[in-house]
Amino acid sequence: MKISGKAVVYNHDNISTDQIFPGQYGYIQDMKEMAEHTLEGADRTIRERFRTVGNIFVSGSNFGCGSSREFAVIVLIESGVKAVIVKSAARIWYRNAVNLGLPVLFCPTLPDAVAEGAEVEIDLEKGTVLDVATGALHQGEAPSEFIIGIYREGGIKPLMRKKALERSQKKERAGD
């Protein structure tokens, strides 16, 4: 899987889900309305930069720590983010991203090196990201085959739908 785009950089550590999507908006049921609050607790300009600058989001270590709220992934997707490159991420946030098909690359060196708006190319299977302007190839952590498998399906919702359809087809064949 290859993803390319321009970087929006917010290179800080421990960005919590309370900052990515503040809890008081959690009962909003409309995704577009939710996305109006993307990263509001960190920097209110980022959401606009996803429109004007690029759609590869770059941040520091332990990204997405705190609450299990999946909205902290959903609002990034709704804001047009195509991939996230961080030094490291909190477990539940990462798992939510995988489940929703948002590619995440753990790369310790790129966040400190990349410029806002720089063109980057991610090769997810290899775990690399190329900074096109400087030519620097940053080696990150390649996701496991298991995770790549979920990404290839576009997340676990399509995967589960496929399973459900297979189950019902089997039932039909069995004649019940």
- The minimum distance between CB 163 and other proteins, in angstroms, equals 8
- Identify the residue among 55, 56, 58, 69 touching other proteins (CB under 8 A): 69
Pairwise CA distance, residues 141 & 72, whole Å: 22
Residue 159 CA to residue 176 CA, distance in Å, equals 24
The position carrying tokens 């576009």 is 154
DSSP 158: H
Binding of other proteins by 70 (CB under 8 A): yes
- Tell which positions 72-101 bind other proteins, by CB under 8 A: 73-74, 88, 90-92, 95-96, 99-100
First to last CA, the chain: 40
165: contact with other proteins by CB under 8 A:
yes
CB of 12 to other proteins, least distance (A): 11
Angle between helices 156-174 and 91-99 (to 10 degrees): 50
How many residues bind other proteins (CB under 8 A)? The answer is 40
- Element holding 148 (H helix, E strand): helix 145-153
Q: Does 41 bind other proteins (CB under 8 A)?
A: yes
Q: Which helix (H) or strand (E) holds 59?
A: strand 56-59
Site for other proteins in 11-30 (CB under 8 A): 14, 16, 18-19, 22-24, 26-29
- The residues that bridge with 7 in the sheet, in sequence order, are 56
Give me the residues that bind other proteins (CB under 8 A), please.
14, 16, 18-19, 22-24, 26-29, 41, 61-62, 65-71, 73-74, 88, 90-92, 95-96, 99-100, 144, 146, 155-157, 160-161, 164-165
